[in-house]
Amino acid sequence: MTDDKQKFTTVDEYLEAATYDVEPRLIETRRVIRAALPDAEETISYNIPAYKQDGVVVIQFAGYTEHTSLTFFPTAATFAHFAEELAPYRTSKSAIQFPLTEPLPVDLIDAITRFRAEEAAAYAARKQAGR
């Protein structure tokens, strides 16, 4: 998508560097995530857009030559909860890939983002309680 040496400081910079075929999907992914996480801090982490809430990175997204992706950690609960919906997509240890040749699954992105927000809030609460 971009020059590997380019370091981004804002999500806008990241989006501006995207290729024309990936950029609209990234803009739509950003819109869906921001709607699901209106109070999240938008930042760059590992040189890709990230959304933090309660001091925890809830979700990240990225664009590549053949797909866009959602990235988050831990993945186990999310992958288990959405197993059926994720079946058509390639997943890795911490990401889900959405091929550019298929429509962007905005409802799934929204649902995963909201699920991850609940997971992050529970983690933050446990951390504050010292557990």
Say how many residues make up the chain: 131
What is the reported pLDDT for 4? 58
Is 78 within the bounds of a domain? yes
Domain that holds residue 60: 11-123
- What CATH number is associated with residue 81? 3.90.1150.200
Reference 86, options 67, 60, 116, 112; nearest CA is: 112
Position 115 in a domain? yes
Domain count, the chain: 1
Residue 95 counted as domain residue: yes
pLDDT in tens, the chain (131 residues): 544 578 999 999 999 999 888 999 999 999 999 999 999 999 999 999 999 998 889 999 999 999 999 999 888 999 999 999 999 999 999 999 999 999 999 999 999 999 999 998 888 888 778 76
pLDDT of 33-52, one tens digit each? Answer: 999 999 999 999 999 999 99
Structure tokens at 54: 């309660």
Q: Answer yes or no: is 130 within a domain.
A: no
Residue 77 belongs to a domain: yes
